[in-house]
Amino acid sequence: MKADFTRWLPAIAKNRTTALKVAGVACLGGLAFGPAAVAAPVTSGPHAGAVAAIDLATGKSRQGATVESGLTTGSTTGKVPTGKPGKDKLIPHGVEGAQSRIPLDDEQLANAKAIVKTAKKTGVGERGAVIGIATSLQESKLYNLGHLGAYNDHDSQGLFQQRPSSGWGTPEEITDPEYSSRAFFEALKNVHGWEDLPLTTAAQTVQISAFPYAYAQWEEQAADIVQQLW
């Protein structure tokens, strides 16, 4: 977990359909550490190779991104699509603090679909899916990141930046979207009363982040994503 939110890293996405993609890692991300883990040193700024990732994540580069939809810009009508969950289920406690949004490309959408699908399979429902999507938005911007070499934060990888050394699984397992999502949701289900907790509390209890409030900024976009994909 890097303390500088502007520090983004390029990575080779571990996606079976994509050989190479520049991706960004949010450096306030609460990587899935064990309780005794120590945060990585603070760095002075973004790596030189991260410019494209910053542009992609902030919307400066629109190529391949879905920007004009409720997934990125929010609902303009306020109406719940037929058959979709409402905000009372998705954000039962209201959002906490200022909200962030990024454009989503096809790979990010595919990973979001994998998380939502696994949320249904594990029985955590719409609210669990929102927590999962928001957590992945913070940790990896919904990119399935492989090891970043010298720029990797410890041994964290995948959609949720889970660590093999903390018992989350092998690198191959945690870079499988379904496996990593299931691992996250099974851990979430072990959090007593998680359904009634604010998102950032539920996510932090699973992730053990040095920056526990970073997850909250993605709740609104995560809810829009789940509402449209559910």
DSSP string covering 73-136, please? T--SS-PPPTTS--HHHHSTT---S------EEHHHHHHHHHHHHHHHHHT-HHHHHHHHHHHH
- The backbone region for 154, taken as left when phi is positive above 0, alpha when psi lies in -120 to 50, beta otherwise, is left
Asked whether the beta carbons of 164 and 176 are under 8 A apart, the reply is no
**pLDDT interval class at 210 (50, 70, 90):** confident
- Give the mean pLDDT of 180-205: 96
Q: What is the pLDDT of residue 123?
A: 98
- Give the mean pLDDT of 95-119: 94
Inform me whether the pLDDT recorded for 24 exceeds 80. Answer: no
**pLDDT interval class at 102 (50, 70, 90):** very high
**pLDDT interval class at 4 (50, 70, 90):** very low
Q: What is the pLDDT of residue 160?
A: 92
Query: Within 10 A of 21 (CB to CB), how many other CB atoms are there?
Result: 22
Q: What is the pLDDT of residue 212?
A: 78
Inform me whether the pLDDT recorded for 30 exceeds 60. Answer: no
Query: Within 10 A of 93 (CB to CB), how many other CB atoms are there?
Result: 12
Inform me whether the pLDDT recorded for 174 exceeds 70. Answer: yes
The pTM for the full model equals 0.72
CA–CA distance, 100 with 114 (Å, rounded to integer) = 22
Which distant-in-sequence residues (6+ apart) come within 8 Å of 31 by Cβ?
1, 139, 153, 154, 156, 161, 162, 163, 207, 209
Q: What is the pLDDT of residue 182?
A: 97
Q: What is the pLDDT of residue 165?
A: 87
Q: What is the pLDDT of residue 149?
A: 65
- The identity of residue 173, as a single letter, is E
Answer with the residue of higher pLDDT: 44 or 55. Answer: 55
Query: Within 10 A of 98 (CB to CB), how many other CB atoms are there?
Result: 8
